[in-house]
């Protein structure tokens, strides 16, 4: 029996960068991603089809390279979707997600201008050009394209952030939805900006409690890396497809090697996080004990001073014995 057979039935860990992209970020898994997104956006928007946009790094600086969104998609009706799986907490996480959203929105205007410029140059014979991608077609397919206001007509940008940690800046719950809304009445002011944050540590349902496809998908993503086979309760077609795509045994040799490295990085990051948490707990415990001892000594001084004051010892002597001030003694 070879290594591939030994791995049969085990699933990739979706909280690793490569595991997430194996499940949702390749052409063969596009239907799974559409299903997940439609469950997240149920009764709000329905996606029929989408395109994975190019993997070009659009970072604004060298320092920003390599931390762009995990997946960047364009739907058949023109919405942009950022999907990110974030394994560990880091400082300013919410600010970074806002930056991603704003950058995606801002580039719509920049791209429209650039594509129209190329079109005009092509028509005038000055330069080769044309519409190269599906994104180009959506960007330019607008009425009154040359009017001032039309250049700022935006498509909706959805940011979906799957988080394997608890974010202090969010409420202590699994799902947080954000919109641009009137602070007083909650009415949505602009529909083109949507963020959904999913904090997986707060999802505590057991499989028997998952009645909807949405809950079953979330439950599966949270637990599948521990399974040897797909549970019998997950009989929908979507889970059969997930079973095929996510089985480690079905990975190509190249993907298997890359996944093993990604899994090692994931495990190391969890160990580092747990060690830091334990060190913080021990430090807090030591500081708490020291603080408790200091409070105990202070309380002892007050009790002694109160007793000496009760039997008529002069304040000056009480000050010398206890170290309290005259004002503190007078207040006893």
Q: What are the pLDDT digits (tens) for 23-63? A: 898 888 899 999 999 999 999 999 999 999 865 444 444 44
Q: Is the pLDDT of residue 68 over 50?
A: no
CA 210 to chain centre: 22
DSSP 151: G
Instruction: Give which of 160, 130, 7, 153 is closest to 69, Cα–Cα.
Output: 160
d(CA 12, CA 192): 34
Average pLDDT in the chain: 79
Q: Look at residue 40 in the predicted model and tell me its pLDDT.
A: 96
CB 50 within 8 A of CB 74: yes
d(CA 21, CA 23): 5
Global pTM value: 0.68
Which residues 6+ apart lie within 8 Å of 203 measured at CB?
174, 218, 219, 222
CB 249 within 8 A of CB 9: yes
Least confident of 43-52, 120-129, 263-272, 294-303: 120-129
Average pLDDT for 203-228: 94
Average pLDDT for 293-315: 77
> Mean pLDDT: which of 98-102, 278-282, 297-301 is highest?
98-102
Q: Is the pLDDT of residue 269 over 90?
A: no
Q: How confident is the model at residue 81 (pLDDT cuts 50, 70, 90)?
A: very high
Q: Look at residue 27 in the predicted model and tell me its pLDDT.
A: 86
d(CA 136, CA 53): 11
Percent of the chain with pLDDT over 90: 36
CB 52 within 8 A of CB 27: yes
d(CA 74, CA 82): 9
Q: Is the pLDDT of residue 170 over 90?
A: yes
- Sign, CA dihedral 295-301-302-304, equals positive
């Amino acid at each position: 029996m070879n290594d591939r057979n030994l791995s049969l039935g085990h699933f990739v860990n979706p909280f690793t960068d490569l595991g997430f992209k194996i499940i949702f970020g390749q052409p063969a898994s596009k239907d799974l991603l559409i299903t997940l997104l439609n469950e997240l956006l149920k009764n709000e928007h329905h996606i029929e089809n989408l395109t994975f946009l190019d993997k070009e790094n659009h970072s604004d600086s060298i320092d920003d390279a390599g931390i762009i969104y995990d997946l960047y998609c364009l739907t058949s009706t023109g919405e942009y979707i950022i999907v990110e799986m974030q394994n560990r907490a880091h400082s300013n996480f919410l600010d970074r997600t806002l930056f991603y959203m704003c950058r995606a929105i801002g580039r719509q205007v920049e791209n429209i201008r650039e594509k129209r410029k190329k079109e005009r140059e092509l028509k005038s014979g000055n330069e080769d050009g044309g519409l190269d991608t599906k994104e180009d077609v959506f960007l330019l397919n607008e009425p009154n394209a040359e009017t001032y206001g039309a250049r700022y007509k935006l498509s909706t940008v959805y940011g979906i952030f799957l988080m394997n940690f608890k974010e202090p800046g969010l409420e202590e719950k699994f799902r947080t939805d954000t919109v641009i809304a009137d602070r007083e009445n909650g009415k949505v002011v602009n529909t083109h900006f949507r963020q959904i944050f999913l904090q997986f540590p707060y999802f505590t349902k057991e499989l028997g409690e998952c009645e909807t496809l949405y809950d079953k998908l979330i439950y599966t993503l949270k637990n599948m890396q521990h399974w040897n086979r797909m549970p019998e309760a997950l009989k929908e077609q979507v889970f059969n497809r997930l079973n095929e795509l996510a089985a480690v045994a079905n990975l190509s040799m190249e993907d298997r090697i890359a996944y093993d490295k990604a899994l090692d990085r994931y495990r190391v990051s969890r160990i580092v996080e747990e060690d830091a948490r334990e060190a913080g707990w021990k430090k807090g415990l030591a500081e708490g004990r020291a603080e408790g001892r200091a409070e105990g000594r202070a309380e002892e001084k007050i009790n002694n001073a109160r007793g000496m004051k009760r039997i008529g010892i002069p304040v000056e002597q009480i000050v010398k014995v206890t170290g309290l001030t005259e004002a503190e003694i007078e207040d006893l």
